[in-house]
Amino acid sequence: MNSQVTRYCVQGVGAVFLGFALLILILVRQASAQLSEVPPTWGGHIRDRTRLTGSWFGLRDEMGKKGVVLDIDILQVPQGVASGGLDTVAEYGGLAEYTLNMDTQKLSLWPGGFFTVQAMSSFGQNVDSGSGALIPPDMVLLLPDFGNETTGLMSLSFTQFLSPKFGLFAGKLSALGADTNEFAHDYHSQFLNAGLNLNMTLALFPFTGYGGGLIILPWEGAVFSASVMDPSGRATNNNVGDAFEDGVLVAAQGRVTIKPFGLIGHQLLGFGWSDKKRVSLDQDPSNIAQLLLTQRFPRLADPGPALTRILERFFPELLVPTKPPNTQNHTWSIFYNFDQYLWSPEGYPDRGIGILFRFGASDGEANPIKYAYNVGVGGKGAVPGRPLDSFGIGWSRVNLSDSFVPFLRSRLNLGLNKEDAVELYYTAQITRWLNATADLQIINQALNKTLDSSGQLKNVGTTVVLGLRLYARF
């Protein structure tokens, strides 16, 4: 009853919020902002243009002048497990992204309004089953809907700035822009490992969902936002009637630009809280199978099948639950990151070499990731003669909750305490519309045992993953 009342209240508040936003929208006259960068021309020599297909005989340039920008991008990732892990496999997969941005002021409608539509299509296979890693070695594996070759809608949103410093947004929102970091956030050209792109303590929160919120730009270089989202949103579910059926997700973050000694850096702090009812990690042993088979972690590789096979082999009597599962009525996560240039070439503040750090903590009651850390070094345009190249080396660690399948961990010594990954990459900008990346990852998996062909447990060795990435913008 309480959850139903909460849902109705949230929906009512949402209706008032949107109504207020539309009322203000009619009155606004002075708001202005820029959502997507538009070059003077999309054309030019094929090596210099920012998109392969150019200006479309001038049509694309005219669209850009009127605030309409359409992008089609293809990301291809061949990867292979060179040693260790569960199997030495090589796979090829990727992601197609379709993004449409519209600026209402440039369309001669009204100032300060922006529409964003983004869809994604995944294709091919990945090395997750061979690596045995809990944190996917390829971020693309998670998008748009983990484990499925499919097409999904990530964003269908409208943002209205009511002044240069304040705006409102609503629709189907993408959460991929959260937890931004200068050196460890762009899976198109930076790290591939999900643990170096995202704060993994956000494992229970979706990448997309219906909702709304506000954005504040109090001073130059500062961005604060707060939002309410559907905690069960999926790219493949566009039915707005399903939104908020099982609770809400409230999230907020602030990012501030700093310039110690004239060098650019950023500080970011945020949190997320949800009242969605979830299966608790703290369970009677007879409910372990139910936990593993029903719980979904949107940002993690699925540990359920591997652990269920181990359970079937050694404790088949625990496959049938004897009591209802314990549940949790809330989950939360806090996250922090910073990036800081230590050196930049004179006149180019957005190039150079810098450091990155990321930390997160969660309740550890419904969320299997209790803590997450990143440390690393990144570079942009730091190699002489290569102003658009980038590189990085980073370390990611996640500490699992003590409540995550303690029975199996203690009885079979499966590990499941922490997972470490070290990644090294170099991205070469071949043209303005095409880059290529060479990538090396060394992963010490959380799950350190697996079943061999005879049904006995064997140790899983440290995984070495080699990969390439090709990112083309059309």
Q: How many CB atoms lie within 10 A of CB 248?
A: 24
Question: What three-state secondary structure class fits 1?
Answer: coil
Residues 6+ apart with CB under 8 A from 62: none
Amino acid found at 402:
D
Rounded to whole angstroms, the maximal C-alpha distance in the chain is: 73
Measure CA of the first residue to CA of the last residue in the chain; give whole Å.
51
Its pTM stands at: 0.89
pLDDT tens per residue, range 6-16? 444 444 444 43
DSSP track, 28-62: --S----SS---S-S-S-TTT-SSTTTTTTTHHHH
Please tell me whether the peptide bond between 260 and the residue prior to it is cis, using omega within 30 degrees of 0: no
| Residue count (the chain) | 474
Distance CA 166, CA 225 (A): 10
pLDDT tens per residue, range 362-417? 999 999 999 999 999 999 999 999 999 999 999 999 999 999 989 888 889 899 99
Does residue 1 register a pLDDT over 50? no
Q: How many CB atoms lie within 10 A of CB 205?
A: 26
Measured in whole angstroms, how far is the alpha carbon of residue 364 from the centre of its chain? 20
Question: What three-state secondary structure class fits 195?
Answer: helix
pLDDT tens per residue, range 104-154? 999 999 999 999 999 999 999 989 888 999 999 999 989 999 878 999 999
Question: If pLDDT is split at 50, 70 and 90, which confidence band does 22 have?
Answer: very low
Amino acid found at 99:
T
CATH number of the structural domain 2-473: 2.40.160.180
Contact of 29 with 104, CB cutoff 8 Å: no
